[in-house]
Amino acid sequence: MILSNKSSSEELRKLQLTGGSTFIVSLPKDWVMQMGLEKGSLVSIMKDDDLSLRIRPKVVGKGDRQRRAIISVSHGDDPNSVVRRVVSAYLVGYSIIQVVDHERRIDTSQKLAMKDFTRKKLVGTEILSDLPNELTLQVLLSYAELSVKDALRRMGIIAASMHRDALLAVGSGRVG
């Protein structure tokens, strides 16, 4: 999973015909690398109601290597926005959440916001490494071990916290 501040980008790819009856399309190499995929990896293709296709890495079983989310941040990204991206990865169920600034050190305000939120709100999550340009979190508690009721309660707590933060930001004029 790659989360960035940029809107989703569109890439045009040509369909290729192989064997006379099979169409193939190549995947962007950077996406494949970021997903940790390699030759022979499984991907899931889902057809949506609007006939568009969604492609996701397929996790075969519990014994597979840990799922990793890489979140790219830039200097000047709003710390609350960075925290929201971390929360998204947490709620989706990634066990490793890696926040990286590829150009420079992660802003102190971004790092403090992530650490504070992790300690206070992300149950079962530990800071695995804290490097100048990277912060790696590990979720030690798997969602498979949680009841649906507990998972919904945690999501409610996180959503309420985010709502409260948004109201405070609007009230103080820090939006924009």
- pLDDT tens figures, 21-34: 788 889 888 888 77
In a domain, 98, yes or no: yes
In a domain, 31, yes or no: no
Give the pLDDT band of residue 150 (cuts 50, 70, 90): low
Question: What integer pLDDT is reported at residue 63 of this predicted model?
Answer: 44
In a domain, 154, yes or no: yes
Count the domains in the chain: 1
Question: What integer pLDDT is reported at residue 7 of this predicted model?
Answer: 46
∠ CA 93-94-99 to the nearest 5 degrees?
135
Collapsing DSSP states into helix, strand and coil, what is residue 128?
A: strand
Considering 57-61, 71-75, 89-93, 119-123, the range whose residues carry the highest mean pLDDT is 71-75
In a domain, 85, yes or no: yes
In a domain, 58, yes or no: no
In a domain, 147, yes or no: yes
In a domain, 49, yes or no: no
Rounded to an integer, the average pLDDT of 141-167 is: 71
In a domain, 7, yes or no: no
CATH number at residue 84: 3.30.110
Range(s) of the domain holding residue 110: 68-172
pTM, to two decimals: 0.49
Contacts of 87 (CB under 8 A, 6+ apart): 117, 121, 122, 158, 162
